[in-house]
Amino acid sequence: MPVHRPGSVHTPRTPRSFRPRPVAVLVTALLAALSCSLPLTSAQATTAPSRGSAHMGMGVLAHDGQSGTPSTGDATQTEGVDVAGYQGNVAWSTLWSSGVRWAYTKATEGTYYTNPYFAQQYNGSYDVGMIRGAYHFATPDTTSGATQANYFVDHGGGWSRDGKTLPGALDIEWNPYGAECYGKSASAMVSWIADFLNTYKARTGRDAVLYTATSWWSDCTGNYGGFAANNPLWIARYASDPGTLPAGWSYYTMWQYTSSGPTVGDHDKFNGALDRVQALANG
């Protein structure tokens, strides 16, 4: 026991577990407890998309216009659609009856994804009489352009001279999984695209179609115009007109004008009558 000397005052020691904590520590602990009981905000509740879920126009609504209805023009246009795995089995006979005459189906993404509904979508459109093609969703941050072009050709993206198969399309747009330009400089992005296009042509004998949006193209390639001579442009813009085109192209071949069309959301116009669609298929 402690010894008390005469005249001294004894002050009991506070047990360690009961010593008062600094105010800042208590406030931090209180806020942490409260945050656990509060509902998540919409931003917190939103989860990042999973790899493979990307599709044509995924970033267009957020970055480059709203769902549009084309204004009536003098040139004849041919209605088309583009589809991906998230749309499942497609009612092709319904689309045919509504006037749709051509279609593109997502085949691949990166080198890690193939569309599980590809056969129903790609062959189904062909079987009802449509002219069909396949597209690849580019992920320039994962593997080289050549590697992805080979993966695309090996998993449905080839071409045949049957009069009903369009050349493959490269979907190059906003990165749904991260930085807008996939962490690449404009010159590096142009090199990646060229690597893909050159490999695709070497494998199939055809120049691939380039699908993009003008604002993304300007941001991520520096508005490069060197592909316009050989690669048909498929422009994405949800408005009454396609707007300003990327550098080099004086006209578009295809235009994705809405993500809320009938039967399937993504509807497109081919810049010409059906015989021009057939001409592109024939090469």
Residues acting as catalytic residues: 82, 171, 173
Q: How many helices (H) and strands (E) does the chain have?
A: 9, 9
Distance linking the first and last C-alpha atoms of the chain: 102
Evaluate the CA torsion angle 88, 256, 258, 221 in order and state its sign.
positive
Task: Tell me the β-bridge partners of 105.
Answer: 83, 134
Cα gap 24→27, rounded to integer Å: 5
Amino acid identity, residue 161? R
Q: How many residues does the chain have?
A: 283
Q: Do residues 61 and 238 make contact, with C-beta atoms less than 8 angstroms apart?
A: yes
**Per the structure block, which two tokens stand in for 27?**
């406030």
